[in-house]
Structure 1
Amino acid sequence: MEDSFDFGMMRGGITFCGVYDGHAGTRAVNMLKDKLVASLDAGLQGIDFSRTAEVDRIIKRVVCQLDDVFVQEAKEHKWHDGSTATTIMIKDKRMVVANVGDSRTILCRLGQGEALSHDHKPSRPDERDRIIAAGGTISTMGVLRVNGILATSRTIGDGSMKVKNYITCEPEMTHHTIEPGDEFVILASDGLWDVVTNQQAAEIVCKCGSTSSAAKLLIDEALKKGANDNITVAVVDLRGAYSDKPPPAVGSAGVSLSSPTADGVGALERPQLSKMLDQAPDHQGWMLKQQSKAMFGVQSWQKRWFTLCRTQADARYDGSMHSNWQTGNYILQYFSDQATASKKQIGNKPIFLDPSYAARRETLLDAAGRLCLSVRDMYSGKVIVLACAAAGENDVSIWIQAINT
């Protein structure tokens, strides 16, 4: 899966959160995760967020510089990767939203959903005019696409589409002063917004007791409505900006606040993990695991025996003074075969599933369309893609239901 997100604290008390929706590979998304926060941190040091024009200029410069370097490298290596980016930065009571592409950020205020960003699509009149003025075309292939290729009119990466500026990386900014009544901000890839309206999302989040459960319910709702694209959601609690005891700042569909150790267990020690796994698996069976790297451009799959265990106890990791994280309800493990699984209580790389994130998708596997499940390891941040071991099986559907229950 090519969706991702980022959350952290920058110098000067700036809170950052971003959602990225990649396509044609993960390089553009990985570049954003590696470089965007650090570059913004350097550029915005000492800048008063009330100086909106200067803030906008710095953000545009940072994004365009990162895009220029990435596009040049992509041309040299013949990469075609690209990504959207919808981000927020909060300093005191001032928030700036920077958006590139069709991921979206909305504000939940007094139970109402208000857009803080505007999707960059070729159907937007101003975007259409810009594309045509640059010599580009807009055609319909299921949806409107720039030159018959991209369904979004602004991206980071996609160097071949920027030779004549058919698309641009320039972000659009929105400034907002946080005040009583502002409750949450939702950032999500278009997989959510394709099937859930701003108002529906706001109503779901405002009924939840925590941002983590809110993110989970949003993905649940999208899946119920037939979402057929990858989904990443982040929910940010704004109420701490005007309360004496701020609640946790963010809950997300996969935020990882700890660093993985060499054995992949993360912040948990193996004795504690053994105690949590002292039970028979809730689900087990043969599944296909997508290899993390494609060989010669062809994606390959490994057949493994998987076990899915519901934890007996929660394990909490204190990530920072602003937030903490609690493990999901399930631990996913895989072994070479069933016999090995019966002898070993702990696999080589236990995967702590965040129950607020489990996205399914249709894909072609061995020339047969099969339902696939993407899950994220809370500690490493890695995405694991699973599929049924044989055509016609419904194991993945069962596991989707289990993880999202």
Structure 2
Amino acid sequence: MPSWLGQMVLSCWELVGRILGTSKDDVSDDDDPDDSLLHSPLFWSRDLEKHSCGEFSVAVVRGNEVIEDHSQVDTGREVTFVGVYDGHGGPDASRYISRRLFRNFIRIAKEKGTISENILRSAVIETEDGFLSFVRGSFVRKPSIAAVGSCCLVGIIWRGSLYVANLGDSRAVIGSLGGSKKVVAEQLTIDHNVGLEEIRSEVRALHPGDPDIVVENQGAWRIKGIIQASRTIGDAYMKQPEYNADPRFRRCYLPLPEPFQRPLLIPEPSLHRRVLQPSDGFVIFASDGLWENLTNQQAVDIVNKHQRAGIARKLIKRALKEAAKKRQINFDELLRVPDATRRNFHDDITVVVIFVDHDLLEKGAPVP
């Protein structure tokens, strides 16, 4: 690799800002002081921050007793990295991804001297391999770790292009100005969820000898009646049969009813590259807790009609209001639901809204 190219990539990643974890100290007080969500211990946000070519807003609300969503925004002089990791079975996998995926991506990009879809894929696969090694090392003291997994949604903006990798049913949606001067929603990712007929067909094609690979359970299509996501990081017992057969695992977790010959879930991300156009205004990255309650167009309209500061919070509040309506209670009643039963009302929800300012995109202006 030419030395100047390696130096170029290295300079791109002189990080000037990083968001990880959750803290009530991150909450802004510039909203309505009577807004019960803003002051809820379930919630945290960053109302508005700068990234390499614009601004972004982040918000999270907890639905599980222990939050299983993790997220990050990393910004350098010319590159912005966004990650939303929706865990299940516990927070171990999503936490691991938030600590390792970005590092893996940086190292591979430096080695190759560029950024591409293949480099992003390699970082995801390396993160999967690393987590499965972590499971192997932790299994004796914690057999249930074999049942922990996470969806994974990543976006990177570099040199006028947006690169997206996705496993699972988190979603990236872009808002663009259409021909009628109306902002139009376009989904950039595929929902790897067997609730969709095309995903059920994909899974069945990978397991032609297993008529029960996808079955209905509790009113939803699930792989082996257990999980809706067809692509994940982790979930070792559904990928490596030795965990499913181990007596230590079977004592603490309901095993699969029969042995399997090939992985039931795959870690292969779907990849997308988009050259950003002047009509592209913003991208919403969110876990499925948002999309269970809002359509793509509803979410884009909310972002378009409100000021940037606190917009991720507004999306979460609207989603929670819809969740409350489904259960025939009001918003404040929803916030008072006990932790032990809250997951019956709504999931963890993570929202990151990335605004793209094209004058900065063209200049490559450094972040203050």
TM-score using structure 2 length: 0.62
* 2:243 aligned residue: none
* 1:224 aligned residue: 321
Query: Residue 150 in 1 paired to residue 227 in 2?
Result: yes
Separation in 1, partners of 2:359, 2:101? 24
Is the alpha carbon distance of 1:243 and 1:95 closer, same or farther for their aligned partners in structure 2, counting shifts above 3 Å?
closer
Q: Of the candidates 3, 24, 27, which is equivalent to residue 92 of structure 2? A: 27
Q: Of the candidates 206, 213, 220, which is equivalent to residue 310 of structure 2? A: 213
Separation in 1, partners of 2:315, 2:359? 24
Is the alpha carbon distance of 1:137 and 1:92 closer, same or farther for their aligned partners in structure 2, counting shifts above 3 Å?
same
* 2:367 aligned residue: 322
Q: Give the drift of 1:187.
A: 0.4
- 8 Å CA contact 1:189–1:232 kept in 2: the answer is yes
Separation in 1, partners of 2:265, 2:230? 5
Q: Of the candidates 268, 271, 275, which is equivalent to residue 177 of structure 1? A: 275
* 1:105 aligned residue: 172
Query: Residue 140 in 1 paired to residue 216 in 2?
Result: yes
* 1:236 aligned residue: 354
Which amino acid is the alignment partner of residue 149 of structure 1? Answer: I
Is the alpha carbon distance of 1:161 and 1:244 closer, same or farther for their aligned partners in structure 2, counting shifts above 3 Å?
closer
Structure 1 segments of 4 or more deviating over 4 A?
46-49, 240-247
SS of 1:166's partner is coil
- 8 Å CA contact 2:170–2:191 kept in 1: the answer is yes
Query: Residue 69 in 1 paired to residue 166 in 2?
Result: no
Separation in 1, partners of 2:126, 2:363? 39
Separation in 2, partners of 1:99, 1:224? 27
- 8 Å CA contact 1:107–1:114 kept in 2: the answer is yes
Which amino acid is the alignment partner of residue 237 of structure 2? Answer: S
Which amino acid is the alignment partner of residue 95 of structure 1? Answer: L
Greater percentage in helix: 2
Greater percentage in strand: 1
Is the alpha carbon distance of 1:13 and 1:166 closer, same or farther for their aligned partners in structure 2, counting shifts above 3 Å?
same
- 8 Å CA contact 1:106–1:198 kept in 2: the answer is yes
Which aligned pairs between 1:164-203 and structure 2 lie closer than 5 A?
A: 164-203=262-301
Separation in 2, partners of 1:245, 1:196? 35
Percent of matched pairs sharing the same residue: 32
Q: Give the drift of 1:13.
A: 2.4
Q: Of the candidates 156, 161, 186, which is equivalent to residue 114 of structure 1? A: 186
Deviations 1:361-402 (A, max 9, x none): xxxxxxxxxxxxxxxxxxxxxxxxxxxxxxxxxxxxxxxxxx
SS of 2:274's partner is strand
SS of 1:225's partner is helix
After the TM superposition, which of the residue ranges 146-155 and 125-134 deviates more from structure 2? 125-134
Separation in 2, partners of 1:67, 1:167? 12
Residue segments in structure 2 that go unaligned for 5+ positions in a row: 1-66, 178-182, 241-261, 324-344
Deviations 1:233-260 (A, max 9, x none): 000011245568999xxxxxxxxxxxxx
- 8 Å CA contact 1:99–1:172 kept in 2: the answer is yes
Query: Residue 36 in 1 paired to residue 101 in 2?
Result: yes
SS of 1:229's partner is coil
Which amino acid is the alignment partner of residue 83 of structure 1? Answer: S
CA RMSD of aligned residues (A): 2.3
* 2:83 aligned residue: 18
Residue segments in structure 1 that go unaligned for 5+ positions in a row: 50-54, 248-320, 324-405
* 1:96 aligned residue: 163
SS of 1:202's partner is helix
Is the alpha carbon distance of 1:112 and 1:242 closer, same or farther for their aligned partners in structure 2, counting shifts above 3 Å?
farther
Separation in 2, partners of 1:56, 1:91? 12
- 8 Å CA contact 1:95–1:175 kept in 2: the answer is yes
Query: Residue 2 in 1 paired to residue 68 in 2?
Result: yes
Separation in 2, partners of 1:185, 1:223? 21
Count of residue correspondences: 243
Separation in 2, partners of 1:108, 1:322? 23
Q: Of the candidates 145, 152, 165, which is equivalent to residue 85 of structure 1? A: 152
Q: Give the drift of 1:89.
A: 0.4
Separation in 2, partners of 1:217, 1:129? 36
- 8 Å CA contact 1:178–1:241 kept in 2: the answer is no
Separation in 1, partners of 2:302, 2:267? 32
* 1:59 aligned residue: 120
Separation in 2, partners of 1:44, 1:105? 23
Q: Give the drift of 1:48.
A: 4.5
Deviations 1:113-149 (A, max 9, x none): 1101110011344532343333461122232111111
SS of 2:222's partner is strand
